[in-house]
Amino acid sequence: MAASREAFLVVASLAAGLAVGGVALAFGGANPVSGVYVLLTGFTYYPEILVVSASILTLTGLAFAIPLRMGFFNIGGEGQLYAGALAALVVALNAPYTPLPALVAGLAAGGLLGVIVGLLRVKLNVNEVLSTIMLNWALYWFTSYTVITRLSDPVYPHLTREVPEPARIPWIPSSALGPLSDFLPRGLPTIPLISAAVAVAAWFFMYRTLPGLRYRFAGSNEYAARSRGVNVDLIRILSMAAAGCLAGLAGALLVLGHSYRIDTGLSGLSGYGFEGIGAALIGRNHPLGVAAASIFFGGLYAGSERIQVEAMVPAELASIVTGVIIFVVAALSGLRYIAPRLLGAAREV
Interface pick for another protein out of 140, 171, 217, 274 (rule CB under 8 A): 217
Give the CA angle between residues 47, 52, 54 to the nearest 5°: 95
Interface pick for another protein out of 5, 6, 228, 335 (rule CB under 8 A): 228
Give 91 or 281: the residue with its C-beta nearer to another protein. 281
Cβ 237 vs Cβ 122: under 8 Å? yes
Give the CA angle between residues 329, 335, 338 to the nearest 5°: 140
Interaction residues for another protein, span 326-345 (CB under 8 A) = 344
Least separation, in Å, of the C-beta of 340 and another protein? 10
* Whole-angstrom Cα Rg for the chain: 21
Give the CA angle between residues 4, 6, 11 to the nearest 5°: 95
Cα 188 off chain centre by: 19
Give the CA angle between residues 125, 131, 134 to the nearest 5°: 160
Distance CA 256, CA 168 (A): 5
Give 15 or 224: the residue with its C-beta nearer to another protein. 224
Binding-residue pattern over the window 194 to 213 for another protein, x denoting contact by CB under 8 A: -------------xxxxxxx
Is residue 220 involved in binding another protein (CB under 8 A)? yes
* SS3 category, 188: strand
Reference 282, options 273, 272, 269, 295; nearest CA is 295
Cβ 267 vs Cβ 151: under 8 Å? no
Give 171 or 337: the residue with its C-beta nearer to another protein. 337
Largest interatomic CA distance in the chain: 70
Interface pick for another protein out of 224, 309, 315, 335 (rule CB under 8 A): 224
Interaction residues for another protein, span 229-268 (CB under 8 A) = 229
Distance CA 295, CA 132 (A): 26
Give 179 or 344: the residue with its C-beta nearer to another protein. 344
Interaction residues for another protein, span 1-30 (CB under 8 A) = 1
Interaction residues for another protein, span 157-186 (CB under 8 A) = none
Least separation, in Å, of the C-beta of 279 and another protein? 21
Give 165 or 348: the residue with its C-beta nearer to another protein. 348
Give 222 or 263: the residue with its C-beta nearer to another protein. 222
- What's at 210, amino acid-wise? L
Interface pick for another protein out of 140, 214, 233, 286 (rule CB under 8 A): 214
Give 217 or 274: the residue with its C-beta nearer to another protein. 217
Least separation, in Å, of the C-beta of 120 and another protein? 24
Cβ 131 vs Cβ 119: under 8 Å? no
Size of the site for another protein (CB under 8 A): 23
The residues binding another protein (CB under 8 A) are 1, 207-214, 216-217, 220-221, 223-224, 226-229, 344, 347-349
